[in-house]
Amino acid sequence: MRLMRLGPVGSERPAVLIDGDPRTDGQVVEVGDAVEDFNEGFFASGGLEALRSLVAERVAAGLVQPVAGRRIGAPIARPHQILCIGLNYSDHAAETGQPVPNEPILFNKAPNTLVGPDDDVRIPRESTKTDWEVELGIVMGKRASYLPDHAAAMDAIAGFVLVNDVSERAFQTERGGQWVKGKSAETFNPAGPWLATPDEIPNLLALDMWLDVNGVRRQTGSTATMVFPPLEIVRYCSQFLVLEPGDLINTGTPPGVGLGHKPPIYLQAGDVMELGMTGLGTGRQQVIGPR
């Protein structure tokens, strides 16, 4: 299934994409009368399996509606936590001048950074180095702690989502402390347009990804070149903290970020980022100035 949330900010309603491109000819089944939201409670209660039967019934009854003209929100409600993996592509580590890590680099991102795939990205005050990062996101489907292996990790996953891990590099590396300061400005985690359940993604290590800025290709990569693959990331994270249903894990970015260019290139108000990934759709975010 491909889970979506549609509607104005703060009033999104859950739906399931049946076919088509959600921005043009997409068709959805509305499920807001049966599902409060795609949130922690939904995933923890085994809501995905119940939802499959409901969607099949409504498709058979012809209860399908167009998406066109409606805002697409992030495909999950605000999670308990957003975790991120740093330097998870060896060529990205090289472009930033840092060694490939021996273990996953784990850091936090504020959960209220989550926005829809086409929402504006706001440059924070005093920013000089706001950057882009196309990434595969993992959404947890179960509470998980001390997972023993990759099979257990897969069993705990609800699905996968396209994300843009927007970063402010000066805040991240020049202002002391941990990376969270450069990762947590408002709007810094566009996600969607949909969450794809694991059956929609036959090979997690063969997902091509790309990101353009103002029509110029900046990032091209594939999950095939990850240092730590998605299932290992979930298993690893569970050794240090409890993962909750609905939690989001951003798994790292391939080369081509603004920081890696010589000289570096950073986002300015008016810029447009477009990004996509195999099986996970596309996003388009315009950059706007500070409040």
In sequence order, what are the residues at sequence separation of 6 or more whose Cβ sits closer than 8 angstroms to the Cβ of residue 185? 113, 122, 124, 127, 166, 168, 171
The list of the chain residues with pLDDT below 50 reads: none
pLDDT for position 92: 75
pLDDT for position 176: 84
Distance CA 250, CA 255 (A): 15
Contact of 166 with 243, CB cutoff 8 Å: no
Domains of the chain: 2-66 (no CATH), 82-288 (3.90.850.10)
Q: Could you report the per-residue pLDDT of 256-291, keeping only the tens digit for each?
A: 999 999 999 999 999 999 999 999 999 999 999 999
Instruction: Report the 10 Å Cβ neighbour count for 136.
Output: 27
Q: What is the CA radius of gyration of the chain?
A: 18
In sequence order, what are the residues at sequence separation of 6 or more whose Cβ sits closer than 8 angstroms to the Cβ of residue 140? 43, 156, 157, 158, 234, 243, 244, 245, 246, 247, 248, 249
pLDDT for position 263: 95
pLDDT for position 94: 78
Q: Is 85 helix (H, G, I), strand (E, B) or coil?
A: strand
